[in-house]
């Protein structure tokens, strides 16, 4: 009989546009690698070849998807990502850091765009992989707008929905964090970068006692 390989750790970062998820994931990955961990950084929608094709279809704005089709496309991309990238990495014992996951569908397609949250919760159960820890980066709506403007890139389909949409997204993430308080930690992401990264690492170390 062979021992099953150790299961890694699955950490998701969530929050509105410009909250600093990509920046913080990079810093957390570096901190974990310095502590000898095998780290995989990935993101949604995307993170596997098929899922990246779906990402293009979802973000370009070329198709005005019906709400249900949009939700199902996010979950189709996720199913591919989980099967091809996340589960294999966890099976070999890696720490997987994922920029957005099913909480984003609950917030964007559910809370912010009015989709059926019970159906979304059912699809999340079908995926059958709950994050060990979810860090919700919370920023004020004004900060979101300033950071997106200073980046100077063309807005994607969701970013074009503007401030009232950003406010619904922010409230949605705070609701999800409250409803899943054993795995979610809300981080004040309005603070300067170094302060946010210190909070991100402290929350991670508090959650995984092996890092202490
Ligand atoms: N979406 C969905 O609707 N449903 C789903 O199920 C999923 C996704 C999975 C993906 O876009 C879009 O898909 C997203 C939700 C939707 N909608 N939008 N918009 P994406 O992957 O292209 O982008 P994003 O996830 O929204 O990330 P982002 O806009 O790139 O932001 P971020 O990763 O959170 O932030 P960042 O790139 O690290 O930082 C943004 C800028 O702020 C940058 O210039 C930084 O240098 C600066 N920054 C970051 N932190 C700080 C601090 N603390 N102080 C000052 N400046 C800072």
Place of tokens 């995984």: 208
**Tens digits of residue pLDDT in 35-76:** 999 999 999 999 999 999 999 999 988 899 999 999 999 999
The pLDDT-based confidence of 98 (bands split at 50, 70, 90) is very high
Would you say residue 169 lies in a domain? yes
Ligand 1 binding pocket includes 138 (Cβ within 6 Å): no
Does residue 3 fall inside a structural domain?
no
Q: Return the residue whose CA atom lies nearest to atom 25 of ligand 1.
A: 17
In a domain, 1, yes or no: no
d(CA 11, CA 137): 13
Tell me if 32 is assigned to some domain. yes
Domain that holds residue 57: 9-206
Atom 22, ligand 1: residue with shortest CA distance: 156
Residue-level pLDDT at 2: 54
What's the number of domains the chain is made of? 1
Of the candidates 108, 98, 80, 189, the one whose C-alpha atom is nearest the C-alpha of residue 144 is: 189
pLDDT at 136 exceeding the cut of 70? yes
CB-ligand 1 contact for 12 (6 Å cutoff)? no
- The CATH number of the domain holding residue 163 is 3.40.50.300
DSSP lists the bridge partners of residue 43 as 99
Tokens found for residue 62? 């070329």
- Identify the three-state secondary structure at position 18: coil
Asked whether residue 2 is domain-assigned, the answer is no
24 alpha carbon to ligand 1 midpoint, in Å? 11
Are the C-beta atoms of 11 and 99 separated by less than 8 Å?
A: no
Q: Is residue 28 part of a domain?
A: yes
SS3 174: helix
Best CA proximity match to 170, nearest among 195, 138, 200, 129 = 138
- Residue 85: inside a domain, yes or no? yes
Instruction: Tell me how far apart the alpha carbons of residues 13 and 117 are, in angstroms, rounded to a whole number.
Output: 20
Do the domain assignments include residue 92?
yes
What is the per-residue pLDDT across 166-186, written as a single tens digit (0 to 9) for each? 999 999 999 999 999 999 999
pLDDT of residue 198 exceeding 70, the answer is: yes
User: pTM for the full model?
Assistant: 0.95
Give 134's strand partners. Answer: 12, 184
Asked whether 55 lines ligand 1 (CB < 6 A), one says: no
């Amino acid at each position: 009989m062979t021992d099953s390989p150790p299961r890694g750790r699955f950490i998701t970062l969530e929050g509105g546009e410009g909250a600093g998820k990509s920046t913080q994931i990079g810093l957390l990955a570096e901190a974990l690698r310095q502590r000898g961990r095998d780290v995989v950084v990935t993101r949604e929608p995307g993170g596997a070849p098929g899922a990246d094709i779906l990402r293009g279809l979802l973000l370009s704005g070329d198709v005005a998807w019906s709400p249900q089709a949009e939700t199902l496309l996010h979950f189709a991309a996720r199913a591919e990502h989980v099967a091809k990238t996340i589960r294999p990495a966890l099976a070999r014992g890696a720490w997987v850091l994922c920029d957005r996951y099913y909480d984003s569908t609950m917030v964007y397609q559910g809370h912010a765009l009015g989709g059926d949250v019970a159906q979304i919760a059912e699809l999340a159960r079908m995926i059958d992989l709950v994050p060990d820890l979810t860090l919700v980066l919370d920023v004020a709506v004004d900060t979101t707008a300033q950071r997106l403007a200073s980046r100077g890139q063309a807005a994607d389909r969701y970013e074009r929905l503007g401030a009232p949409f950003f406010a619904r997204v922010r409230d949605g993430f705070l609701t999800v964090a409250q409803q899943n308080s054993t795995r979610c930690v809300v981080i004040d992401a309005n603070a300067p970068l170094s302060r946010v990264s210190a909070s991100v690492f402290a929350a991670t170390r508090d959650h995984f006692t092996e890092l202490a």
